[in-house]
Amino acid sequence: MNRKKIIPLEELAKELAKLKKQGKTIAQCHGCFDLLHPGHIMHFKAAKEKADIVVVTLTPDRFVNKGPGRPVFNEQLRMESIAAMEAVDFVALNRWPTAVETIKLLKPDFYVKGPDYKDRSKDLTKGILDEENAVKSVGGELYITEEITFSSSNLINSFFSPHSPKTREFLDGFKKTYSFEDVANDIDKMKDLKVLVIGDTIIDEYHYCVPLGKSSKSPTISTSFLRSETFAGGVLAIANHLEQLAGTVKLVTCLGKENTASDVINKTLSKGVDVKFFERHDGPTNVKRRYLDKYMNIKLFEVTFMNDHHIETELEKKVIQYLDKEIAKYDIVIITDFGHGFITPGIIKHIQDNAKYVAVNAQTNSNNYGYNYITKYHKTDYISIDEKELRLPFGDNYGDLESLVKKLQAITKAEKIQITLGQEGSLWYEKKKFYRTPAFAGVVKDSVGAGDAVLSVTALCAYLNIKPETATFIGNCTGALAVEIIGNEHPVYKKDLLRFIQYSLK
């Protein structure tokens, strides 16, 4: 019987239209409702007292971004649980990230929210304002209930946490010293920064296939092509992340005349990023074409299109001349060195000698393995690399990590160094002291670009002298969100980062 309450949105819209013609009033409640508690039950009852018909629309699993392991209960279980409530007449699954489109479709008389939304300024996403405008546009009104409040996230973090005991212990300790407001204030300081980011452009192509098996006449693995997606990678992705946080972002990069990929860049690069493109005549814009098993999301192999020789001397001079005029305008210069030819020794020297603050990532990847070491930098302020990128320059696969960080600091003169450790979290070094922070990721959909996202936010933290404990916490929260994004499909949005942090600290 309860399942009959669960109907598709379009069907629900038609049913509600009929009921309104009969003089019935409609109240719509909307949310995640991941863990039903007394507050939710009282909320639905309050809505029933206000209107004849109560409709509950749910956030789909794919749009629930409240932290690792969320939602605890999938969308089908959540719908069935709510449908069992006597006060609820209909339940439907939303198709969009917010309720705005759903409100316009269902046209409720009352859009019902709990007392947490009474003060609109406390809504991190500012979505309540858009939802209020949506319900007014269809002739309805926003109705705030007054029941006692409970926190689903607090209950979930206490009893259903996906984290290891070690991570829970860290979060419990962190919460005793730092509040959500403390962390949010630190992030808010970034909005006034002027950032210049320079590095290699990469176009990431994802080609999804179905493996068919080995060819009968050769050892070749045969696949059937399904579809492809193209994303802005490399320095483009980092610029998109930075645009979410900093006030001014200037991107300096190099495209290839053989294939500028300008159509992809125009579609995927944030409009808030100011750009300066240089062009090399001896190659294409860097493209990494990955072939993946569609069902397991496993990369089968990769094909790259690039000229990874250093750009020609004349082009290098033009870049340095441009930087010479521009670099003093920016608080911080972030070098994203993927080892694909744009970041030359001459450009490195000019930035190190002239920038107010230099943050660097020199990446090791399959195209530059053994040739692009962080140790080529000798005058930096902040470095963010992974463990392998630390070990390779010293030829030390098993040595003490902290000793290697100290060696790197002696070479690069970096005041602050972060080493990302994958599932083990991160290690931060500052003022001869080490800080370890666990990882907060749940499901890892794609690790490509996660380190770039972490660099983007922690470089700003380092410049602002945000406390190491907070800087690494913010960085690892960013990384947890980044690994849920396929191929830099979009940046880590500031609103999602704040929401993730807020729910993690409940």
pLDDT at 155: 47
235/112 same-domain check: no
155/14 same-domain check: yes
Q: Which residue has 């930075």 as its token pair?
A: 242
151/189 same-domain check: no
Bridge partners (DSSP) of residue 360 are: 335, 383
54/199 same-domain check: no
11/115 same-domain check: yes
Determine the structural domain holding residue 36 and report its residue range. 2-159
Query: Residue 63, SS3?
Result: helix
CATH of the domain at 67: 3.40.50.620
264/345 same-domain check: yes
Q: Do 252 and 243 touch, CB atoms closer than 8 A? A: no
Per-residue pLDDT reduced to its tens digit, 1-15:
566 899 999 999 999
372/245 same-domain check: yes
- Quote the tokens at residue 423: 């599932």
Q: What φ, ψ does residue 90 adopt, rounded to 5°?
A: -140, 150
Distance CA 207, CA 201 (A): 19
Query: Residue 110, SS3?
Result: strand
Buried b (16+ CB within 10 A) or exposed e, 61-92: beebbbbbebbbbebeebbebbbebebbbbbb
Bridge partners (DSSP) of residue 338 are: none
Distance CA 499, CA 506 (A): 11
Q: Which residue has 């979060």 as its token pair?
A: 171
Residue 445 placed within a domain: yes
CATH of the domain at 319: 3.40.1190.20
pLDDT at 445: 78
Q: Which of 143, 159, 175 is the last residue of a domain?
A: 159
- Quote the tokens at residue 103: 């409100």
52/195 same-domain check: no
- Quote the tokens at residue 428: 């931060």
Residue 166 placed within a domain: no
Total tally of structural domains belonging to the chain: 2
**Strand 26-31 versus strand 298-305 pairing type:** unpaired
Residue 173 placed within a domain: no
Query: Residue 198, SS3?
Result: strand
Q: Do 451 and 386 touch, CB atoms closer than 8 A? A: yes
272/418 same-domain check: yes
pLDDT at 153: 54
44/103 same-domain check: yes
Q: Which residues contact 342 (CB under 8 A, 6 or more apart)?
A: 199, 200, 201, 253, 254, 278, 311
Residue 408 placed within a domain: yes
Q: How far is CA 75 from CA 152, 387, 423, in A?
A: 16, 38, 28
Residue 72 placed within a domain: yes
494-504 helix and 152-159 helix, angle to the nearest 10 degrees? 60
Instruction: Please name which of 87, 88, 134, 85 lies closest in space to residue 107, comparing C-alpha atoms.
Output: 134
Residue 167 placed within a domain: no
360/286 same-domain check: yes
pLDDT < 70 stretches in the chain: 1-3, 66-70, 119-126, 147-163, 442-443
Residue 165 placed within a domain: no
Q: Do 288 and 203 touch, CB atoms closer than 8 A? A: yes
Per-residue pLDDT reduced to its tens digit, 254-311:
999 988 999 999 999 999 999 999 999 999 999 999 999 888 778 888 999 999 999 9
pLDDT at 449: 84
Tally of helices (H runs) and strands (E runs) in the chain: 17, 18
Angle at Cα 178 formed by Cα 173 and Cα 182, nearest 5°? Answer: 160
Bridge partners (DSSP) of residue 231 are: 204
Q: Which of 106, 125, 159 is the last residue of a domain?
A: 159
DSSP secondary structure code for residue 168 in this structure:
H
Helix (H) or strand (E) holding 321: helix 313-326
Query: Residue 145, SS3?
Result: coil
Residue 398 placed within a domain: yes
Reading across the β-sheet that carries 201-214, which strands appear in turn?
A: 221-234, 201-214, 287-293, 298-305
24/79 same-domain check: yes
